[in-house]
A and B are shown apart, each in its own frame.
Chain A
């Protein structure tokens, strides 16, 4: 059934939607009045996403960032479904930074948390439907016929009885004078002609011909390229520098200090890079250097030896554990990880004529706009953010550090400035996935059935670091800077005292029917290494701990890992359906040769449930070869199945890369790894064959960008156990543990 839905803009946004109740901050966004229906170019502009020119050009604007996850195709599909236009006939463009495109789950215009489709599902279909209704009304008025007789098909309104037809362009001016409908009927799923069907990426052609414009490709008249010398350790400060040799490099134009370090501006990257290498700089060591990785590891061990803050309790786990006939205990540890996007960080800024323009591959247009306004002292309205394609995001490009660098440079020169990072800059100045230790204890009855589960998670807090930076951009544009700063300080104080909700996500939501269950989190502080959101965030390690330990419990009781999970998932039919599908498609239970094994893992995140079966072969020298991965996903309503499959393949590969190789090492207050030789990532010869199966559930749309990542590490480690009897409890996987005797 088609149900009328309310078009009123939601005016109250609560931080609780993302925090799960940990932090409540009610915000009222001002200045969100009705949109004008004609834009500055005289086009029909019924809302923020649709522009229809009198020459019949239909432009669909995408306020999200395209970093490979397919929003540049999926979001226009939602609009086009209701607007009744062919995707081949529209132009798709990146929207500017504007509060109209705020992500309702993130309170700013930003892309992350696998939220694009789930938050756009209703508003974009409504946007398309509202525009269609205005076009129908315009045609009805022009032809003096009832609007119910006017059909919208493929970019035109038809009146069958009289055989009349008008293209949307011909109706654009009249449609702009129609009242905005208050209610619109949306199609029922069986009426979809685009949603749920494979739609090839709209940006594929420009990406196979080299024409897609990424941030690093931005060019402007008189542009200078900057390379920045950054501190050699986190917290080190610039004392003095000698630019003589740098300025002697042909092409180097200016050298100056900015908050991030020393910037060398030149006619191109090579001169800037050569100039930067010629700088002589004295750095003051950090007052409190970041701890070495092995010290952090020891500190986390000490933290999980004592109780942390309780984030979930069912029953009386401590009492039951003390009396259980048998108990099992294990530690699971993961290291710091870099994002390593293929396109190194970069941004271009130009301060001119009382304005600031920024061109950037950003996941956070709202934050970029606010950062530029704060640094330049300009009003937000005088800042323009142009979004380019992103050469990978994975959560790295939520941070605004590279935006701030470009704006800081642009403030000191009349030229537009493009800051370009080297690969080593990128690896050593990331906002990293934190190092985390999980301590699990289970009590089992005499038959091996789990009675109690205690899960302690310890790590530094991402939210305590990120919240003060992310908060100001989420506040209304017109809020005075003093207010924004005060709120940011309050958020910092609050988040320093509460458990980091992204630190234990996925551990707290443990779906297994265990009557006595407790989850705790302990914050490691102080912690000097910058932390951030790494594809799937807390789920990237909580799935490893939960799904490995469940496998240990199954093995303890001599039970098949699929049968064991099935028994404990009776109350979760969607989980169960994914488990059955992936086990069947993954040939669960069929024999494999010696030192080969199959492992399974199942994990829900970002509104979707993903199961993965990995097949591994372990060589006599301990090298692990992942030969095949079968994935099943229930992401509720599917918009573009082609994208769902691609995101499952890619999300899995991203997690596999980390499981096999990923580790950032802190040594002497700095990151030891620099380029892809030190920070190894998955290559073609290490990529398994992949199959993806979509499980239909009829549920609301879930995310797909991240949920493919969490299950692969435990699936592979469980497969290694099946192949060798060795349990991997620390990532990345150490082949030395797996040598055959």
Chain B
């Protein structure tokens, strides 16, 4: 039995400590918003935050998050949507939507560390998140828009 903080709540889980966090979230804890895409940290669909930093949960053993804070797409919004989610809607970013949980989580982490990223900084931070529908152009615009929105307060 191990415990960690998941979306602000302390949870206990009994599972193979070597199992990637992704499968614990999806199958043991029922949070299916985090997606499986590659299993090798190559596509970013499984991105969650570990103590606020983006990680690929498909290669992160469950044991590595013991006692720490994990945030998933389900834990992002409070009463209202996170500003990044709001601009994702405003610019109609998703197509198939499968990669978007990971895209949103990476974008939120980028903006937390860099409130006004340049195109080059966005490209750098987001190049680990693949989208086969090609929504990159809108994601780039949405991150700029979210940066402006968050600075307005």
Seen from chain A, the residues whose Cβ lies within 8 Å of a Cβ on chain B are 66-70, 200-201, 203-214, 216-217, 219, 225, 250-251, 268-271, 340-344, 389-394, 420, 422-423, 642, 646, 649-654, 657, 675-677, 681-685, 687-690
For B82, give the chain A residue with the smallest CB separation.
Answer: A208
Q: How far is the CA of A154 from the CA of B131 in the complex (A)?
A: 37
**Also in contact, A217 and B100, with CB within 8 A (given A646-B95, A684-B140):** no
A675 and B42 within 8 A (CB): yes
User: Is B6 among interface residues, defined by CB-CB distance under 8 A?
Assistant: no
Q: A217-B32, A343-B35, A675-B42 are in contact. Are A208 and B89 (CB under 8 A)?
A: yes
Inter-chain contact A687/B132, CB cutoff 8 Å: no
Establish whether residues B134 and A652, one from each chain, have CB atoms under 8 Å apart when the complex forms. yes
The reply to whether A200 and B98 form a contact with Cβ atoms under 8 Å apart is no
Encode contact with A along B29-45: 1 for CB under 8 Å, 0 otherwise.
01111111111101101
Q: Does A423 lie within 8 Å of B123, measured CB to CB? A: no
A642 with B92: CB separation less than 8 A: yes
Interface centre among A67, A342, A344, A683, by most B CB within 10 Å?
A342
A residues near B76, Cβ cutoff 8 Å = 209
Q: How far is the CB of B72 from chain A (nearest CB, A)?
A: 7
How far is A687 from B127 in the complex, measured between Cα atoms in Å?
10
Please, which residues of chain A bring their CB within 8 A of the CB of B23? 268-270
B98 lies within 8 A of A343 (CB): yes
A338 vs chain B, min Cβ distance (A): 11
Give CA–CA (A448, B111) in the complex, Å. Answer: 56
Distance in Å: Cβ of A495 to nearest Cβ of chain B = 30
- A677's nearest neighbour on chain B, judged by CB, is B42
30 A–B contact pairs at CB < 8 A? A70-B95, A201-B92, A201-B94, A203-B94, A207-B100, A208-B100, A209-B33, A209-B73, A209-B77, A210-B33, A210-B73, A217-B26, A251-B16, A269-B26, A270-B23, A340-B132, A341-B96, A341-B132, A389-B96, A390-B96, A422-B39, A423-B43, A649-B135, A653-B134, A654-B132, A654-B133, A677-B40, A684-B122, A685-B126, A687-B137
Known pairs A342-B43, A676-B130; A269 contacts B136 (CB<8 A): no
Within 8 Å of chain A (Cβ to Cβ): is B124? yes
B96 contacts A391, C-beta separation under 8 Å: yes
Contacts of A207 in B (CB 8 A): 94, 97, 100
B127 and A211 form a contact (CB under 8 A): no
Which residue on chain A has the smallest CB distance to residue B141?
A: A689
- Nearest-neighbour CB distance to chain B for A277, whole angstroms, equals 12
Contact of A344 among B36, B95, B99, B123 (CB under 8 A): B36
Q: Would A203 and B92 count as touching, CB distance under 8 A? A: no
Shortest Cβ gap from A365 to chain B (Å): 17
A650 touches B34 (CB 8 A): no
Determine the chain B residues whose CB is within 8 A of the CB of A684 once the complex forms.
122-123, 126-127, 129, 131, 136, 139-140
Q: A650-B133, A652-B134, A683-B128 are in contact. List 20 more A-B contacts (CB 8 A).
A: A200-B92, A207-B100, A209-B33, A210-B72, A217-B32, A269-B26, A344-B36, A389-B98, A391-B96, A423-B39, A423-B43, A642-B92, A654-B134, A676-B42, A676-B43, A684-B126, A684-B140, A685-B124, A687-B134, A689-B137
Residues on B with beta carbons closer than 8 Å to the beta carbon of A343: 35, 37, 96, 98
Whether B55 is near chain A, meaning CB under 8 Å from some CB there, is no
> Which secondary structure dominates chain A's binding surface?
loop
Closest to A689 in B: B137
Residues of B near A67 (CB, < 8 A) are: 96
Which one of B16, B28, B38, B99 contacts A250 once the chains associate, using CB atoms below 8 Å?
B16
Q: What's the Cα separation between A649 and B134 when bound, in Å?
A: 7
B134 touches A682 (CB 8 A): yes
Are B135 and A650 in contact, with the CB atoms below 8 A? yes
Interface residues of B (CB under 8 A from A): 16, 19-20, 23, 26-28, 30-40, 42-43, 45, 72-74, 76-77, 81, 85, 88-89, 92-101, 104, 122-124, 126-140
Complex-state Cα separation, A652 to B73, whole angstroms = 29
Query: Which residues on the A side are within 8 Å of B34 (C-beta)?
Result: 210
- Minimum CB–CB distance for A251 against chain B, Å: 8
Chain A residue at minimum C-beta to C-beta distance from B126: A684
Q: Quick one: which of B31, B36, B96, B123 has the most chain A CB within 10 A?
A: B96
**Which residue of the partner chain, among A69, A685, A690, contacts B95 with CB atoms under 8 Å?**
A69
**B136 x A653 contact (CB < 8 A):** yes
Which partner residue on chain A sits nearest B102 by CB separation? A342
Are A342 and B35 in touch, CB under 8 angstroms?
Answer: yes
Docked complex Cα distance between A213 and B101 (Å)? 12
Cα-based distance from A216 to B96 in the complex (angstroms): 14
The 8 tightest CB contacts between A and B, nearest first, are A210-B33, A653-B134, A391-B98, A207-B97, A68-B95, A68-B96, A210-B73, A650-B134
| Contact pick for B36, options A69, A208, A216, A690, CB 8 Å | A216
Q: Are B137 and A270 in contact (CB under 8 A)?
A: no
- Whether B132 pairs with A681 at a CB distance below 8 angstroms is yes
Instruction: For the complex formed, measure the closest distance between the CB of B88 and the CB atoms of chain A, giving whole angstroms.
Output: 4
* B89 and A200 contact, CB distance less than 8 A: yes
A675-B38 CB under 8 A given contacts A68-B95, A269-B23: yes
Is B126 in contact with A204, judged by CB distance below 8 angstroms? no
**Which residues of chain A are near B85, meaning CB under 8 Å?**
208-209
CB closest residue in chain B, given A535: B132
* Chain B residues with CB below 8 A from A225, complex form: 27
**Which of A208, A676, A677, A683 gathers the greatest number of chain B CB atoms within 10 Å?**
A208
A342 and chain B: residue at smallest CB distance: B98
Q: Whose C-beta in chain B lies nearest to the C-beta of A427?
A: B38
* Contact between B131 and A342, CB atoms less than 8 A apart: yes
Closest to A653 in B: B134
CA distance in complex: A649, B91 (Å) = 13
User: Once the chains are docked, how many angstroms separate the CA of A657 from the CA of B94?
Assistant: 19
Give Cα A225–Cα B28 distance, bound, in whole angstroms. Answer: 13
Contact residues in A for B127 (Cβ distance below 8 Å): 683-685
Q: Looking at the complex, which one of A200, A340, A687 makes contact with B136 (CB distance below 8 Å)?
A: A687
**Residue in chain A with minimal CB distance to B89:** A204
Alpha-carbon gap, A392 to B100, bound state (A): 12
B92 adjacent to A344 (CB under 8 Å): no
Inter-chain contacts of B96 with A (CB < 8 A): 66-68, 341-343, 389-393
A209 and B81 form a contact (CB under 8 A): yes
Nearest CB on B from A271, distance (A): 8
* Residues on the A chain within 8 Å of B72, using CB: 210
CB distance from B114 to the nearest CB of A (A): 15
B140–A687 touching, CB < 8 Å = yes
Within 8 Å CB of A270, what residues of B?
16, 19-20, 23, 27
When chains A and B are docked, how far (Å) is the Cα of A206 from the Cα of B138? 18
Looking at the assembled complex, report how far the CB atom of A285 sits from the nearest CB atom of chain B, in whole angstroms. 28
With a cutoff of 8 Å between Cβ atoms, the chain A residues found around residue B131 in the complex are 342, 684
